[in-house]
Chain A
Amino acid sequence: MLRYVIRRLVLWVPTVLLVLLGVYALAFYGAGDPIKLIFLRAPGDVAYNPARIEAIREAAGLNQPFLVQFGNYVLNLVQGNFGNSLVSGRSVWRMISAAAPVSAQLGLLAILLTAVVAIPLGVLAALKQNTALDYAILGSALFLWAIPAYVAGPLLMVLLIVLLPDITVPYGWGGLFDVRIILPLLVLAFQPIALIIRQTRAAVIEVMTEDYVRTARAKGVPELAVALRHILRPVLTPVVTQLGLIMITIVNGAIFVELVFGLPGLGRLTVSALLNNDYPVILAITLIGSFLVMASNLLVDVVYPLLDPRATDARATK
């Protein structure tokens, strides 16, 4: 088991490095000279003084070969230094740590909401398989899965204002216990909820045909106990494996939800950096997003054998 975890970790490092390299190379060769990008924004004496620009470039180590600069970037990253924004000159790390709590709270709450809402609904749909209730749950899940956040968000907002004209527009951030969080939270959780409902339903249907479930029923275990004890536990395994995908939908969704509802999180930081070509910020956010997804996948791989002991042998010997 320990060997398996270590093996996964060792394999994980080059993947992270490759992502880093790819993203950095795109910015390095594509975006152009950062010094020029900085001074083109504020043309003063410096912009017309090539000698001074060269000096600044030399001091910042920007005339070194690609791999040296990449190595330095990685070394700085390890120490938590993401460089400075081209627009404001502020430390990217500061900008991110100011914005991250909003996104993190919203995202974690959305994951929690997903677990609380979607798993019971998925089990219910499977137990009532092929009834009207099942079709209603499945149909809504398909619908929620398909609706993009930038469609659901604005439309719900319009609907809310039409239904309750006296309410203030749910725009802005007031912490976790503010009513304005309800709508963005719902919209952010829509896709994960749809995903988990479908996953849970499929898993329950598969488990229900297992011999041990029939045995439990045959010896007279009450239906609720069968559902909770014999069906739910093996079902959680395939559901947990979706964590990486959930993370992707939440990172992507946060960009739109924060933009639509005016939340000062990482998503909005991404959009403003994008519009300003502020590539150190974009680079950092992309890396953090990828890191979150890859860390979720790693977590799943490590936790999976604990939930399903059968997976241990097959995976450890692979």
Chain B
Amino acid sequence: MTASAVLPQAIEPPVSLWADAWRRLARNKLAMVGLALIAVLLFVAVFGPWLTPYDFLSQNIDARNLAPSLAHPLGTDDLGRDVLSRVIYGARTATLVAIVVTVIAMVIGIVLGALAGYFGGWLDAAVMWLTDVTMSIPNLLLVVVINTSLKPRLANWMEAQYLETLNPIYRNSIWIDFILVFGSMALITWPPYARLVRAQVLSIRNRPYVTAARALGLPTWTILTRYIVPNAVGPLIVAVSAGLGTAMVLESAFSFLGVGVNPPMPSWGNMISDGLRVWQHYPHLLAAPAIVLGLATVAFSFLGDGLNDALNPRGTK
């Protein structure tokens, strides 16, 4: 290296951290498969309304439980609705829930993690205890409890708001589902983010530039938002990739159990649970959403693992 580096043409341009990470990621075949699948998923989710051959709600009593054919590539369900269109709209639900939940959970995690790491003391102890407690309750059961207890309350509140304001927005039950699903899922998925951010902040808060900022007399708020948090969120990338996958799985799990997004809004989870009732006669009703959901979660898992290796090259060669 030293001998050839003298020659001008042999000097390599400096490789930035991200370009280096990307190169490692691109070499990982599984991660690239995952990335491609996720790209397809996002495309379908965004442009879904223009891709669906039929309206996902339109029922056709003459075309019930059809096997896959040219007119209906994935067949039709027991109400004569086109399964492909429902799978595509399910992608919209899954993506929407995954993104919103991850963003909410990340914000909670960053705020609590940064405060805990920066101030330490009893605040740190309290936040860490809270993450321990949250992570000790099996997350499905926690959501079940939140759902059974808060859903009727929220529904009553919405009804009261409607009677008071006559604003039809309060009459739409889909909102209740979404608020509950987003809220309860964010409430159980924030701890990993908080822990990551806290660990980062702990290592950053005594760096010279932070001490300098403190010596300049900058307010704590400015130090946190300008100097600490931006430098602490880097490692979240891996966690976010894994978190998106987790949120997607959770969403379908809850709809599968009937506590998530409810019909007629299509969700892969409730399509699977509907399919489970009739699979001996119409296996495609079960197989189509199950395979698509499986592909999506596997894609996030592959990409998350590849990102982990690419950004933390310590363990790999």
Partner-B contacts on A (CB < 8 A):
15, 18-19, 22-23, 26-27, 29-32, 130, 139, 142-143, 145-148, 150-152, 154-155, 157-158, 161-162, 169, 202, 205, 244, 248, 251-252, 255-256, 259-260, 270-271, 274-275, 277, 279, 282-283, 285-286, 289-290, 293-294, 297
* Contact call A22/B301, Cβ cutoff below 8 A: no
Cross-chain contact of A27 among B138, B145, B252, B280 (Cβ < 8 A): B145
> How many angstroms from the CA of A143 to the CA of B37 in the assembled complex?
14
Cross-chain contact of B315 among A27, A205, A290 (Cβ < 8 A): A205
Please, which residues of chain A bring their CB within 8 A of the CB of B136?
15, 19, 244, 290, 293-294, 297
> How many angstroms from the CA of A282 to the CA of B145 in the assembled complex?
7
Determine whether B213 belongs to the interface, using a CB cutoff of 8 Å to chain A: no
A-B pairs with the 3 shortest C-beta distances? A30-B149, A146-B301, A286-B141
Cross-chain contact of B148 among A31, A146, A255, A297 (Cβ < 8 A): A31
Please, which residues of chain B bring their CB within 8 A of the CB of A158?
279, 283, 286-287
Which label, helix, strand, loop or mixed, suits the secondary structure of the B interface?
A: helix
Number of A-B contacts (CB under 8 A): 149
> How many angstroms from the CA of A290 to the CA of B133 in the assembled complex?
9
> How many angstroms from the CA of A22 to the CA of B252 in the assembled complex?
25
- Could you name 16 residue pairs across A and B whose Cβ atoms are closer than 8 Å? A15-B132, A19-B137, A29-B149, A143-B301, A146-B297, A148-B249, A148-B293, A150-B253, A150-B256, A155-B287, A252-B138, A252-B139, A279-B149, A286-B144, A293-B136, A293-B137
Please, which residues of chain B bring their CB within 8 A of the CB of A289?
137-138, 141
* Contact call B259/A274, Cβ cutoff below 8 A: yes
Per-residue A-contact encoding for B265-308, CB less than 8 Å = 1, 0 else: 00001001101100110010011001101100110111001000
Known contacts: A169-B280, A274-B258. The answer to whether A154 contacts B290 by CB under 8 A is yes
Per-residue A-contact encoding for B23-46, CB less than 8 Å = 1, 0 else: 000000010000000000000000
> How many angstroms from the CA of A22 to the CA of B30 in the assembled complex?
41
> How many angstroms from the CA of A155 to the CA of B292 in the assembled complex?
12
Q: In the complex, how many residues of chain B place their beta carbon closer than 8 angstroms to a beta carbon of chain A?
A: 50
Which label, helix, strand, loop or mixed, suits the secondary structure of the A interface?
A: helix
Determine whether B207 belongs to the interface, using a CB cutoff of 8 Å to chain A: no
> How many angstroms from the CA of A297 to the CA of B133 in the assembled complex?
11
Cross-chain contact of B245 among A143, A146, A162, A290 (Cβ < 8 A): A146
> How many angstroms from the CA of A89 to the CA of B30 in the assembled complex?
53
* Contact call B297/A154, Cβ cutoff below 8 A: no
Q: With CB as the reference atom, state the residue of chain A lying closest to B316.
A: A130
Determine whether B140 belongs to the interface, using a CB cutoff of 8 Å to chain A: yes
Please, which residues of chain B bring their CB within 8 A of the CB of A248?
138-139
Known contacts: A23-B137, A155-B290. The answer to whether A147 contacts B148 by CB under 8 A is no
Please, which residues of chain A bring their CB within 8 A of the CB of B256?
150, 256
Q: Which B125-164 residues have C-beta < 8 A from chain A?
A: 129, 132-133, 136-142, 144-150, 152-153
Cross-chain contact of A277 among B30, B139, B148, B245 (Cβ < 8 A): B148
Please, which residues of chain B bring their CB within 8 A of the CB of A31?
148-149, 152
* Contact call B30/A26, Cβ cutoff below 8 A: no
Q: With CB as the reference atom, state the residue of chain A lying closest to B301.
A: A146
* Minimum CB–CB distance for B284 against chain A, Å: 10
> How many angstroms from the CA of A174 to the CA of B133 in the assembled complex?
36
* Contact call A146/B133, Cβ cutoff below 8 A: no
Cross-chain contact of B257 among A30, A169, A271 (Cβ < 8 A): A271
Please, which residues of chain A bring their CB within 8 A of the CB of B147?
274
Cross-chain contact of B138 among A130, A162, A260, A293 (Cβ < 8 A): A293
Please, which residues of chain A bring their CB within 8 A of the CB of B145?
23, 26-27, 279, 282-283, 286
* Contact call B283/A19, Cβ cutoff below 8 A: no
> How many angstroms from the CA of A190 to the CA of B148 in the assembled complex?
29
> How many angstroms from the CA of A143 to the CA of B245 in the assembled complex?
13
> How many angstroms from the CA of A256 to the CA of B142 in the assembled complex?
15
> How many angstroms from the CA of A176 to the CA of B146 in the assembled complex?
34
Please, which residues of chain B bring their CB within 8 A of the CB of A285?
141
* Minimum CB–CB distance for B90 against chain A, Å: 13
Extra contacts besides A15-B132, A19-B137, A32-B153 (13): CB < 8 Å: A18-B133, A31-B148, A146-B297, A146-B298, A151-B291, A151-B294, A151-B297, A152-B294, A155-B290, A155-B294, A251-B140, A282-B141, A282-B148
